[in-house]
Amino acid sequence: MPTRLKLAACQRFSPDTPPPGWTVEPIRNRLWLEYGSSLGENDRKPGPYAVYGSNGIVGTHDTPLIEGPGILVGRKGTVGAVHYSAGPFWPIDTVYYVRRLKDDNWRYLYYLLDYLNLGRLNAATGLPGLTRRDAHFILGAFPPQPEQDTISTVLETAEAAIMEAQEKLIAAQRMKKALMQQLFTRGMPGRHKTFAPLTVFRHRVEIPASWDTQHLGKNVIFVEYGTNAASNNEQRGYPVIAIPEVIASRFQLGECSYAEVSESEAQALRLAPGDVLLIRTNGNPEYIGKSTVIGQEAAVRHIIYASYLIRIRTNPEKLSGRYLNYFLASPLGRRQCIATANTSAGNHNLGSRAIRQFLLPRPDPAEQAEIVQLVDAAEDQIDAVAAEVVALDRLKKSLLQNLLTGKVRLREGKTA
């Protein structure tokens, strides 16, 4: 009885108020979750059939266990995750696969199981993994098959649009990566004719012969650590920039912590437009050296920064802060961040002395500005496509909510 009460909190449908013409009933009346079969990596023979685990496709095999189409539900690991296979497949023992008991549309069952969010059962029962005994009691909503077909067609269209947008996002990110490799070693495309070798931690590149190569320390006014003052969420004191603002693709001052510091420390730590903030210590090595550049919002607000960050203020006659920020994210900049960091007590650390020793291939200020403009354009493209992905994902969630509950009815059925 206690388990059933906990399961009641996970129900998304009520049998008392089904949409006209629909039934609301336990999903065990329409489908059954069957155990997958173990197939270790050493036992797999590469072939045309997907091997599924709880996270999705984990490999291939030369023979399938189940003829498609089919649905898989995470049993262990990513509990409750739902995957769809259009063709034959092999489900390993961390997933269930669906045995259909009636003639429901396969795609409809897939979207329904995804909407039911079976992963909640893991927390509700306190047991590790998803037990089909519990899952089979969850209620589902089942319209007539023609309406299932139409709902599935609409949701497939939304899903295809999301996948197309995600592919565009990956392409935009790859373009930016290639652009960064070009711009910070070869300069503006087609501009330079002669190049000189440069070796950075055994990595050899060629840079335009007209560029200066100096240690970063010769191009900055100061490199400084932030405050150790305790932060608070009651907005007492000054806004404090933290790691989430630094690892974002572009700096935005949203909701952040505050810290109370003396007036002299507040003035010393006040950020200015063009300041570069860099992560100097973190348990994640990928975060070390990640940076952001402060924009014009710092001109109107008194913003300070925390001790696990380092501020670099460049000499504007030699080096643009925006250029330095992008250089640190380039392959050459990242190589130096990772190579010079040290590890202590589980944290990875990057000191101001090491930062000052970074080798910086430096074009003249005009070319720096052009390079920044090109990378900005690539960032704009990524932001635009990422926003498209988010909007389409929201649309799909809205469609799931409205179509699978019958709030919006699609009367004309189409064959799936």
Indicate the range of 4-18, 84-98, 227-241 predicted with least confidence: 4-18
What per-residue confidence (pLDDT) applies to 16? 87
- Whether 2-142 and 212-362 share one fold: the answer is yes
On the question of pLDDT at 414 being above 70, the answer is: no
Question: Would you kindly state where each structural domain of the chain is located, as residue ranges?
Answer: 2-142, 212-362
Per-residue pLDDT band for 247 (boundaries 50, 70, 90) equals: confident
**What CATH number matches the domain at 2-142, 3.90.220.20, 1.20.1070.10, 3.40.109.10, 3.30.420.140?**
3.90.220.20
At 16-57, the pLDDT tens digits run 889 999 999 999 999 999 999 999 999 999 999 999 999 999
Tell me the per-residue pLDDT of 227-242, one tens digit each, with 9 for 90 and over: 999 999 899 999 999 8
**Whether residue 9 has pLDDT greater than 80:** no
- Average predicted confidence (pLDDT) for the chain: 92
- What is the predicted pLDDT for the residue at 416? 38
> Any idea which fold 212-362 has?
Adenine-n6-DNA-methyltransferase TaqI; Chain A, domain 2 (3.90.220)
Res. 248 pLDDT band, cuts 50 70 90:
confident
Residues 248-274, mean pLDDT to the nearest whole number: 89
Mean pLDDT, rounded, for 125-153: 89
3-state secondary structure the chain: CHHHHHHHCCCCCCCCCCCCCCEEEEHHHCEEEEECCCCCHHHCCCCCEEEEECCEEEEEECCCCECCCEEEEECCCCCCCEEEECCCEEECCCEEEEEECCCCCHHHHHHHHHHHCCCHHHHHHCCCCCCHHHHCCCEEEECCHHHHHHHHHHHHHHHHHHHHHHHHHHHHHHHHHHHHHHHHHHCCCCCCCCEEEEEECCEEEEEECCCEEEEHHHHEEEEEECECCCEECCCCCEEEECHHHHHCCCCCCCCCEEECCCHHHHHHCCCCCCCEEEECEECCHHHCCCEEECCCHHHHCCCEEECCEEEEEECCCCCCHHHHHHHHHCHHHHHHHHHHCEEECCEEECCHHHHHCCEEEECCHHHHHHHHHHHHHHHHHHHHHHHHHHHHHHHHHHHHHHHHCCCCCCCCCCCC
